[in-house]
Chain A
């Protein structure tokens, strides 16, 4: 295994930053459609996109080769609903830009867009990318105004503006959110409904909760975007289903610890669920029904499932989340789909299906991509192999030698 890793690194050293044609040899390719695996196939990448998927594609000296030797290859994974690139250190408040609080305006602010604060140079981004993650949903965290703000998909290619898909507005419906906004769920619903109604009013005199920019943002997202509602309790999910239907909006449940109880209603309303498959404790009175097979039960009912770990720095844990969902009954390829094409479809942007014509964001895994003992051996973004280094690999390589004549500050990996 170790030798295989070194071989891959050797191949990459010869690469330039320009997208050279790349051939991944002998892959076990998980397409990401929820069912298809192509065994023992080659994948040819040209101009950053998948050009051909077939066995024994002829090669030449101009084509860089990565030999997968039968190992698993997947589209680069979805890192969940995160603040990657919005946060350097969670407890260092000036490095955190994932939301707003205590604004002087007294209004709700759906127009506040966390993407404006995204920094692809944050060490969090390569730390996450080299674990096989190619994109994430940048989220606005819970605010004290009912609506957290907006975000959207970001691709971890290091670009300053690598955003994809539609606008996504975040609304927290949990008991915790209600506590800081209106004091109860009833008050919260009344105010959120009022804000949605106001977004259609053009006369400022008809608006109490939104600025002109806020009304525009909410209206535009109603038309062409998506709303992510953080909600766990079954009863609250039912209210959300009614609300989404009445408002004719694209809604997504985030959290969804009791979603399995109302799986059929979610299916009928075509509302997907982003969940953490490790949530199995009654963490609060919103989540007494938490259970490990939530994902499996939702999938059985036909609901689209996606994962989030609730983490930013450790967003990479989402692979373990998905693995545990499979260990508790979710079909394997459905879990791969939940990590690849499902979020892309729901939130827009590149399709992320491993088919000809698709952008070549791919990962070669050392073993089962959902197991905790596997790791990403090669991450290819837009046809370019990643250096597979991060601040953490450099710290590791500084302290890995058992002895060094000079202080370790002189070791610069």
Chain B
């Protein structure tokens, strides 16, 4: 209730962040496509439906129908008999480009670990589009991905959502109109990184104090801008004479100073920027949800959430997604209670939003296998999880987490034609993406070397070697 009231009171503060909305704009253009019919496939729509021996048609980059219908006469026809079709796979947690291959110090651009609050940095300014990892992910069916800053900081900076198309700039990959995310981090990482330097935070309570101090500053920032805009509006209303014009000019000449850090935090409080929070322990996630209530914002997704299964009901009730691993555990204390049923248990309650994420340049190449492992463990624990449900963990739920569920992640009319044709049931170690389409354009083909991009970095390496 408090949150809603605050949101309403902030609704008019549209000036804040106006510059950032137009900064570094997307220049993404879909590649050339042709009307395409995929026939006789097993289709998993991404939102819970499975269609056997069904067809799919897309045209001008958008899906026209799923199941059966009319196709243009000049359509390309792909026979997918015996094969499976899913939405393009989405990874909500990647560091491709910011921690690229080769993993050398000169490429280590993912953590601005010089201060615990760096909400002012944007991951996109670190993205190296020539990271070979993008092409490998494409071969695994990844069509969209969120690039996040690392977790050294309490506020790590803005994320960026990309379409996985080969390009020379990140702007040419930037998902049009996708909201920004803000990376935040709980627990061991920030307190270790800064505690070792004998600076704050060095404890979990220090973490929370620093988040709250930052939100308080952001509230003041919003208030200052609101006050400025109120004055401008007041003067505009009075602007009937020379005196009024002078007063208006004075008001306009004294806007509050723009602050990149607070602009991002204010974007969260206004509901424009989605919070993606690295958090492992169940009790800490509940603390964070209470803090979000205190300041009137919504946590979008907890990432890693190795203990999310312990609070699956609370996550569902609060509408918070859990972006999780299938089986990682034990690498640090807050990951000690990992279980392989975590994803299935977060998926279980009504409204549960489970996502399989990678956080890995290897895992992103086979997110379908990660989902398969989680599905199998859920089934073995007695839960009913058909493939058509589990696919949502790497498609529609992931799209929801990124704020693009109305565009991609589901095979339905008018959605972006982000589509993968698999050689078999994708929930298998032997499954491979045969063809991948982004906005209707074929960007990968397992059998056609001319549709297998390689990055500038890999060109001309090991020239004397022939396999």
B447 CB → nearest A CB, Å: 15
Chain A residues in contact with chain B, CB under 8 A? 1-2, 5, 88-92, 124, 234, 260-261, 278-285, 288-289, 291, 297, 312-314, 316-317, 320, 323-324, 326-327, 366, 370-375, 392, 395-396, 399-400, 402
A161 CB → nearest B CB, Å: 24
Given contacts A89-B331, A323-B430, A324-B366, contact A373 B372 (CB under 8 A): yes
Kindly list chain B residues whose C-beta atoms are within 8 Å of the C-beta of A92.
332-333
Whether B428 is near chain A, meaning CB under 8 Å from some CB there, is yes
Q: Are A395 and B430 in contact (CB under 8 A)?
A: no
Given contacts A323-B430, A373-B375, A392-B338, contact A280 B136 (CB under 8 A): yes
Whether B24 is near chain A, meaning CB under 8 Å from some CB there, is no
Whether B373 is near chain A, meaning CB under 8 Å from some CB there, is yes
Q: Could you give, for residues 329-342 of chain B, a 1 whenever the CB lies within 8 Å of some chain A CB and a 0 otherwise?
A: 11111011111110
Q: Is the contact region of chain A dominated by helix, strand, or loop, or is it mixed? A: loop
Complex CA gap A80/B180 in Å reads 41
Nearest 4 interchain pairs by C-beta: A313-B330, A323-B429, A91-B332, A373-B376
Kindly list chain A residues whose C-beta atoms are within 8 Å of the C-beta of B380.
1-2, 5, 366, 375
Q: Are B376 and A374 in contact (CB under 8 A)?
A: yes
B403 CB → nearest A CB, Å: 29
Complex CA gap A124/B138 in Å reads 34
Q: Are A317 and B327 in contact (CB under 8 A)?
A: yes
Complex CA gap A322/B71 in Å reads 43
Whether B462 is near chain A, meaning CB under 8 Å from some CB there, is yes
Given contacts A281-B132, A399-B309, contact A326 B103 (CB under 8 A): no
Kindly list chain B residues whose C-beta atoms are within 8 Å of the C-beta of A283.
101-103
Q: Are A288 and B462 in contact (CB under 8 A)?
A: yes
Of the candidates B331, B339, B348, B366, the one whose C-beta lies within 8 Å of that of A313 is B331
Given contacts A282-B457, A289-B465, A370-B429, contact A395 B327 (CB under 8 A): no
Kindly list chain B residues whose C-beta atoms are within 8 Å of the C-beta of A392.
329, 338-340
Q: Are A89 and B429 in contact (CB under 8 A)?
A: no
Kindly list chain B residues whose C-beta atoms are within 8 Å of the C-beta of A289.
461-462, 465
Nearest opposing residue in chain B for A327, CB measure = B430
Whether B432 is near chain A, meaning CB under 8 Å from some CB there, is yes
Complex CA gap A330/B35 in Å reads 38
Whether B362 is near chain A, meaning CB under 8 Å from some CB there, is yes
Q: Which of B427-467 contact A (CB under 8 A)?
A: 427-430, 432, 457-458, 461-462, 465, 467
Q: Could you give, for residues 32-53 of chain B, a 1 whenever the CB lies within 8 Å of some chain A CB and a 0 otherwise?
A: 0000000000000000000000
Kindly list chain B residues whose C-beta atoms are within 8 Å of the C-beta of A399.
309-310, 339, 345
Complex CA gap A320/B368 in Å reads 12
Given contacts A392-B339, A399-B310, contact A372 B102 (CB under 8 A): no
Kindly list chain A residues whose C-beta atoms are within 8 Å of the C-beta of B332.
89-92
Complex CA gap A382/B379 in Å reads 29
Chain B residues in contact with chain A, CB under 8 A? 101-104, 132-133, 136, 188, 309-310, 327-333, 335-341, 345, 348, 361-362, 365-366, 369, 372-373, 375-377, 379-382, 427-430, 432, 457-458, 461-462, 465, 467
Q: Are A372 and B461 in contact (CB under 8 A)?
A: no
Q: Are A400 and B428 in contact (CB under 8 A)?
A: no
Q: Are A314 and B465 in contact (CB under 8 A)?
A: no
Kindly list chain B residues whose C-beta atoms are within 8 Å of the C-beta of A316.
327
Kindly list chain B residues whose C-beta atoms are within 8 Å of the C-beta of A278.
362, 365-366
Complex CA gap A216/B151 in Å reads 46
Q: Are A371 and B310 in contact (CB under 8 A)?
A: no
Of the candidates A2, A282, A366, A371, the one whose C-beta lies within 8 Å of that of B429 is A371
B367 CB → nearest A CB, Å: 12
A400 CB → nearest B CB, Å: 6
Complex CA gap A88/B132 in Å reads 34
B149 CB → nearest A CB, Å: 20
Of the candidates B104, B339, B429, B432, the one whose C-beta lies within 8 Å of that of A395 is B339
Extra contacts, 9 of them, besides A281-B362, A282-B457 (Cβ < 8 A), are A234-B465, A260-B467, A261-B465, A281-B133, A289-B465, A317-B327, A372-B429, A399-B345, A400-B345
Complex CA gap A395/B103 in Å reads 36
Q: Are B461 and A89 in contact (CB under 8 A)?
A: no
Complex CA gap A276/B104 in Å reads 20
Kindly list chain A residues whose C-beta atoms are within 8 Å of the C-beta of B348.
402
Given contacts A91-B188, A281-B133, A313-B330, contact A372 B376 (CB under 8 A): yes
Kindly list chain A residues whose C-beta atoms are within 8 Å of the C-beta of B101.
281-283
Kindly list chain A residues whose C-beta atoms are within 8 Å of the C-beta of B373.
320, 372-373
Kindly list chain A residues whose C-beta atoms are within 8 Å of the C-beta of B467.
260, 291, 297
A360 CB → nearest B CB, Å: 25
Complex CA gap A326/B428 in Å reads 12
Q: Are A327 and B462 in contact (CB under 8 A)?
A: no
Kindly list chain A residues whose C-beta atoms are within 8 Å of the C-beta of B362.
278-279, 281
Kindly list chain B residues whose C-beta atoms are within 8 Å of the C-beta of A261.
462, 465
B19 CB → nearest A CB, Å: 37
Kindly list chain B residues whose C-beta atoms are within 8 Å of the C-beta of A372.
369, 372-373, 376, 427-429
Q: List 14 A-B contacts (CB under 8 A).
A: A89-B330, A89-B335, A261-B462, A281-B361, A282-B458, A283-B103, A288-B102, A320-B369, A326-B430, A366-B380, A373-B428, A374-B376, A375-B377, A396-B339
Kindly list chain B residues whose C-beta atoms are within 8 Å of the C-beta of A370.
429
Complex CA gap A297/B466 in Å reads 12
Kindly list chain B residues whose C-beta atoms are within 8 Å of the C-beta of A282.
101-102, 132, 457-458, 461
Complex CA gap A89/B336 in Å reads 7
Complex CA gap A122/B465 in Å reads 45
A111 CB → nearest B CB, Å: 29
Kindly list chain B residues whose C-beta atoms are within 8 Å of the C-beta of A400.
341, 345, 381-382
Of the candidates B136, B331, B427, B462, the one whose C-beta lies within 8 Å of that of A373 is B427
Nearest opposing residue in chain B for A258, CB measure = B462
Complex CA gap A402/B335 in Å reads 23
Kindly list chain B residues whose C-beta atoms are within 8 Å of the C-beta of A371.
428-430
Nearest opposing residue in chain A for B383, CB measure = A400
Complex CA gap A201/B453 in Å reads 56
